Structure 1
Amino acid sequence: MPMSNVKPQDYDQLLAAKRNTVQALLSPWCQGEPDVYPSQPTGFRMRAEFRMWHEGDALDYVMFRKDDPKTPVPIESFPIACDSIQALMPIMRAALAGNEALRRKLFQVEFLATLSGEMLVTLIYHRKLEEDWEQQAEALRQQLQTDSLGLSIIGRSRKQKIVLGNHWVTEQLNIEGRTYSYNQYEQAFTQPNARVNINMIEWACERAAELDGDLLELYCGNGNFTLPLARHFDEVIATELAKTSVRAARENIEANASDNVQIIRLAAEEVTQAMQDEREFRRLRDIPKPLQDYDLRTVFVDPPRAGLDDATVKMVQRFDAIIYISCNPHTLADNLAVLSETHQVQRFAMFDQFPYTDHMECGAFLQRK
């Protein structure tokens, strides 16, 4: 996204236009007024990454325009990043520029921040990292470490990863009056707009409060939705394919004492096969009882941009209630066209995770007709 698009004074107008576009797209299935959750106009992104551009003694954060991918655009300020990233960026750049061991063949810098105050910075290089790099990077980490900024630094190059501190940050989110703790791993998926993420989770929990029985969740990630939703169901079966996310989810279950959640490493397509008794999976033997013995009346899905595949849509139609979080209104529309054969949208929401872009996160709550 070009920084020229960032116009906080126009935020309300831009959000209204985006809302109207999405509402028109989904109007065949979503009647009435949606719940709309705006973002902060600035300071909302909890992660950022930049190429590093070397020009003589200068070292700059740069980005590239889609229509001119070879010309670097120096980034002097990044107002969409959260305050802690904005504060650290110039300090980090000056420290890297003035240290030959840290700047030599530095290719990219990635920031991962939290509302809880922890920060992780990944430095990516086009060279092997030697002992002098580790010494200088640890000295920098100690220099920048404060009580309010739990800073870790990771150095990466080809077939090499050096961790100084932790390779995760621990986020804390207040959901429905309770604080949840989440390990968020470096280079693993996390929601980029933490405050809008809280809105999304609470909206899903409000829908779940109307339901009972057990919950099946697809694409659970690190348990972002799973843990708060678990308070509203007897038992939860949550599935995820990415190994790092599964590990984080299991750690987060333990940290939050969520004793009614089972995490299974399965793809959505495999869950569909298991639900339809088409295949047996050894990984399902780890849950306390057979999958078919759970009282699974509700399904929660948060799929990637491609949406739900055809087989998964058909499987999801077996449930009494569907809570669907979507990062792509167009694939949501495709899925709703099928789901509306058996279910009706009762509530609909828009979450502006990505201000100043065309992207809109959506939520749909469907119940069987």
Structure 2
Amino acid sequence: MGLAFAPEQYQAQLDAKRQRLIELLAPFGAPAPEVFDSPREHFRLRAEFRLWYEQGVPHYAMFEQGDKRNPVLIDQLPIASQRINALMGPLLAACKADPQLGRKLFQVEFLTTLSGQALVTLCYHRPIDEQWDAAASQLAAQLDIRLIGRSRGRKRVLGDDHITETLQVDGRDWHYQQVEGGFTQPNGEVNRKMLGWALDVVGDNPQQDLLELYCGNGNFTLPLSTRFRRVLATELAKRSVQSAQANLAMNAVDNVTLVRLASEEVTQALTGVREFRRLQGIDLSGFEFGTVFVDPPRAGLDPATLELVRGYPRILYISCNPETLAANLAELHSTHRISRCALFDQFPYTHHMESGVLLERR
């Protein structure tokens, strides 16, 4: 991804995605999808480049999918954020000029925010030490970035290992810690639209609670917390749980209970099949879940989780894989109908698409 860039073809590609989603959802009587487009350029907030050396001189390189032998050498990337593009030249020049920064450097990773913060990770095929720290500190100050160095078995962090994104959703600013190496939504503007749509479709539920599976760093959890009495949010990945906890505290959200459990374990806990030490002190029977929100990995929902979510009046489902979404909907169609659906163009110029559906009990 990243080498295909044809703004003149964007609308036709978006129309094709919309038609594909319509066809996938047609068996379930879905309404016409709401479509949320992307900026045509500078939409991607993170990027990763290998370095390719020609006569000892490094260049940023990308590769077509499945081809690691024929690099495409670049100095700018139109789909990447303006901040990434502004940093690419000065960063590489500094690495060329200083052996402490450039020697055996093989990969550069950029993470940026809509608000202009940037974290850069430099990856090496050699050990790095205090001498690297001194040179890297000067570079970080010069470019106003957070900088991390990685080599086998070593990670050197200058300052923080995260940056803070700020997204305005429904008139409120939400702040998110984004950690190096952790998952973040790559298209900030489309993510903001996606959060706004989720708030719109759930409405206000002051007497009900929300069950959220796969909450990640709390991307949806934070704004959705304003629409429910309480939220029980679950996530398995330790790093994501830590970021979610930090984000809840940073935004002064106090009605969310966050638990580190896999979706299958949540099913076991809520159905009384098994007790978990991590749930000690949490009264599951005190929750009144009217809505369950899921944003699963590409494989979709497993059979046990499908049966769990079927038991709730409303299911809000965000999907990064329309095929597995359709397969899950085939299972849920007997008990729930689609009342709203949407297409979010997180990945322009590719076949990938993010979609969302609100299911309500028949």
TM-score by length of 2: 0.97
| Aligned partner of 1:166 among 160, 171, 191 | 160
**2:151 is the counterpart of 1:157:** yes
- Please, which moves more after superposition, 271-280 or 349-358? 271-280
Alpha-carbon distance, 1:113 to partner: 0.2
* Alpha-carbon separation, structure 1, partners of 2:152 and 2:281: 36
1:213 match:
208
* Alpha-carbon separation, structure 1, partners of 2:129 and 2:161: 19
Asked if the contact 1:57–1:97 (Cα under 8 Å) also holds between the matched residues in 2, the reply is no
Structure 1: 4+ residue segments shifted above 4 A: none
AA aligned to 2:298 is: R
- Please, which moves more after superposition, 54-63 or 266-275? 54-63
Asked if the contact 1:182–1:252 (Cα under 8 Å) also holds between the matched residues in 2, the reply is yes
* Alpha-carbon separation, structure 1, partners of 2:73 and 2:271: 53
* Alpha-carbon separation, structure 1, partners of 2:240 and 2:29: 32
Asked if the contact 2:75–2:88 (Cα under 8 Å) also holds between the matched residues in 1, the reply is no
* Alpha-carbon separation, structure 1, partners of 2:36 and 2:91: 33
Q: How do residues 16-31 of structure 1 correspond to structure 2 at under 5 angstroms?
A: 16-31=15-30
Q: How do residues 1-369 of structure 1 correspond to structure 2 at under 5 angstroms?
A: 1=1, 3=3, 5-145=4-144, 151-209=145-203, 211=205, 212-287=207-282, 290-369=283-362
Asked if the contact 1:30–1:348 (Cα under 8 Å) also holds between the matched residues in 2, the reply is no
Superposition CA RMSD, Å? 1.1
AA aligned to 1:41 is: R
Q: 1:40 to 1:2 in 2, by over 3 A?
A: closer
Aligned length: 361
Alpha-carbon distance, 1:55 to partner: 2.1
Alpha-carbon distance, 1:2 to partner: 5.3
Asked if the contact 2:61–2:71 (Cα under 8 Å) also holds between the matched residues in 1, the reply is yes
Q: 1:286 to 1:157 in 2, by over 3 A?
A: farther
Alpha-carbon distance, 1:66 to partner: 2.4
Alpha-carbon distance, 1:207 to partner: 1.3
Asked if the contact 2:204–2:228 (Cα under 8 Å) also holds between the matched residues in 1, the reply is no
AA aligned to 1:323 is: L
* Alpha-carbon separation, structure 2, partners of 1:103 and 1:286: 52
Which sections of structure 2, spanning at least 5 residues, go unmatched? none
- Please, which moves more after superposition, 108-117 or 51-60? 51-60
* Alpha-carbon separation, structure 2, partners of 1:244 and 1:36: 32
